[in-house]
Amino acid sequence: MVDSRFSILSEEFAAAPDRYFAWLREHSPVHYEPAIDSYFLSRYRDVKQVLTDHEAFTTETLQVRAEPVMRGPVLAQMTGAEHTAKRKIVVRGFTGQALQNQVRAIRANATELVAPFLPRGRMDLVNDFGKPFAVRVTLEVLGLDKKGWRQVTDWLGGVGEFITSITLTDERRRHCMDRARQLETYLVPIIEQRRRHPGKDLISALCTAEFDGIAMSTRDVTALIINVLVAAVEPADKALGLLFKHLIDHPEQLAQVRRDPTLLPAAIAETLRFTPPVQLVPRQAEQDAVFAGTVVPAGATVFCVIGAANRDPEAFTAPDTFDIHRPDLGTARSFTAAAQHLAFGTGLHQCVGAAFARAEIETVAALLLPLLDRVRYSPGFRYRETGLYTRGPASLSLDFTPVHERVAGHG
Ligand code: HEM
């Protein structure tokens, strides 16, 4: 039984949010947290309403939650024609022919990164592989030099911490702002260079695009690039780690995916439904709104609890079961605007990187699964997740048959 004084900001919730999802939906679907003066909505239909009623619930909150570290307005803050036009440029940069070329970069980076771990038979999928992989691939597809990926990781860490922290001390705030400014200082000369000599990359596309006959300022391009960098990097290692965790925890489904890799998109979609890496999406109520008999007042900050909405029995049968064959998943739609799960959000601001994210995780999993024979948790490994806003495994130490032994054994 959950105590009525229960807080989403408590250590208990942080340790295992999914243990509280049913209670929240049933007993506190409009959960108020006085310490941060915010409402948390957990029922599928309420979350969907908030994310699709763009007049009543806006992204104004991002002005304080994101703009300071993005060094300008981010895509999710924009509205109307400006949003449509700029969103289109970013979508074009991550779909169609551009995506075909990106798959090559994804495969090459994954192959290079996994190589040193194969003879060892042990790898932390999150820290040895997922994190460096996500930064390196994203830099490469943006046309930035991936040699500097460690430095960029540090800067992005500060930007990500600012956006995903529910509360932040003054000292951490200064740290995050400092990292964001350094990232901006790195990007501005590159953007100015692309303005003079545009290439085929997304930065050049943003520099040469016009909106209402006016080219985007360097500040606007910088903000969009930081926006894409953080949005692409932050959930990637989490989604990959969670996919492997669920498959290892469900050996029969792992065996099926190994036998039939065409099941991978379903396994990825079910991973995103079951454990969405982006757990909270904020909005601002523009007028009083009533959910489950409770008034959310105009001006209030509202957090959509995506993890709880994705486990709502009104939307999915047996929602607490991980099942890549679930008929209500709708795999083909899962990476589009018509997705039933809410891991990519929904409505006007739904993720622009969904197709890229799918390609990224599918390509990597298809490459790793045959290499990681008898993949299992390392002896003594204790699984732990971190994060309230974005959430994923802190690490995922895996053992598998060392590759040289396997080759020698077969030789
Ligand atoms: C598994 C991976 C990913 C997850 C779970 C995810 C999740 C999300 C969610 C929940 C939103 C909605 C935010 C809102 O409504 O306020 C969003 C928006 C966005 N995502 Fe992703 N994302 C992923 C990968 C990516 C990638 C790879 C990119 C870049 C290529 C990206 C770029 C963006 C951008 C730019 C937006 C804002 C769109 C807009 O406001 O129009 N995301 N994402």
How far apart (Å, rounded) are the C-alpha atoms in residues 337 and 300?
27
Q: Kindly give the distance from the C-alpha atom of residue 397 to the centroid of ligand 1, in angstroms, as a whole number.
A: 27
User: How much distance in Å is there from the Cα of 93 to the middle of ligand 1?
Assistant: 14
CA distance 325 to 267: 8
Does the residue 5 lie in any domain? no
Quote the CA–CA distance of 265 and 247 in Å, as a whole number: 13
**pLDDT for residue 82:** 84
Query: Quick one: pLDDT at residue 1?
Result: 63
Nearest C-alpha to atom 43 of ligand 1 is from which residue? 351
Mutate to test the pocket of ligand 1, among 136, 351, 358 (most ligand atoms within 8 A of CB): 351
State the CATH number of the domain containing residue 96: 1.10.630.10
pLDDT, tens digit only, all 411 positions of the chain = 677 679 999 999 999 999 999 999 999 999 999 999 999 999 999 999 999 999 999 998 888 888 889 888 888 888 888 888 888 888 888 888 889 989 999 999 999 999 999 999 999 999 999 999 999 999 999 999 999 999 999 999 999 999 988 888 999 999 999 999 999 999 999 999 999 999 988 899 888 888 777 778 899 899 999 999 999 999 999 999 999 999 999 999 999 999 999 999 999 999 999 999 999 999 999 999 999 999 999 999 999 999 999 999 999 999 999 999 999 999 889 999 999 999 999 999 999 999 999 999 999 999 999 999 999 999 999 999 999 999 999 999 999 999 975 444 443
Q: Does residue 98 lie in a domain region?
A: yes
Angle at 232 between CA 72 and CA 54, to 5 degrees: 60
Ligand 1: residues with CB < 6 A are 59, 75-76, 87, 90, 94, 227-228, 231-232, 235, 239, 276-278, 281, 343-345, 349, 351-353, 356-357
**With contact defined as beta carbons under 8 Å apart, do 356 and 94 qualify?**
yes
Q: Torsions phi, psi of 273, nearest 5?
A: -65, -50
Q: Is residue 166 part of a domain?
A: yes
Closest atom, ligand 1, to C-alpha of 93:
30
pLDDT of residue 185: 96
Q: Ligand 1 centre and the CA of 402: distance in Å?
A: 36
Nearest CA owner, ligand 1 atom 7: 344
First to last CA, the chain: 59
| Any domain includes 4 | no
**Residue 3 falls inside a structural domain:** no
Which residue lies with its CA nearest to atom 42 of ligand 1? 353
Query: Would residue 57 count as lying in a domain?
Result: yes
- Which domain does 72 fall in, by range? 11-410
- Separation of CA 260 from chain center: 26
Assess if residue 405 is contained within a domain: yes
Helix (H, G, I), strand (E, B) or coil at 72: coil
- Which protein residue has the closest C-alpha to ligand 1 atom 3? 235
Note whether residue 238 is domain-resident.
yes
- For 306, residues 6+ apart whose C-beta sits below 8 A from its C-beta are 47, 276, 278, 279, 280, 281, 342, 343, 345
Q: What is the pLDDT of residue 129?
A: 98
Atom of ligand 1 nearest to the CA of 78: 40
Tokens representing residue 142 in the block? 């943006």
Gap from CA of 138 to ligand 1 centroid (Å): 14
> Token digits for 244?
């492997």
Residue 204 token pair:
């050049």
Could you give the CA distance from residue 170 to residue 392 in angstroms, rounded to a whole number? 26
- For residue 224, the CA-to-ligand 1 centroid distance in Å is 12
Number of domains in the chain: 1
Give me ligand 1 centre to Cα 76, in Å. 9
CA of 143 to the centre of ligand 1 (A): 20
Residue bearing tokens 């545009």:
198
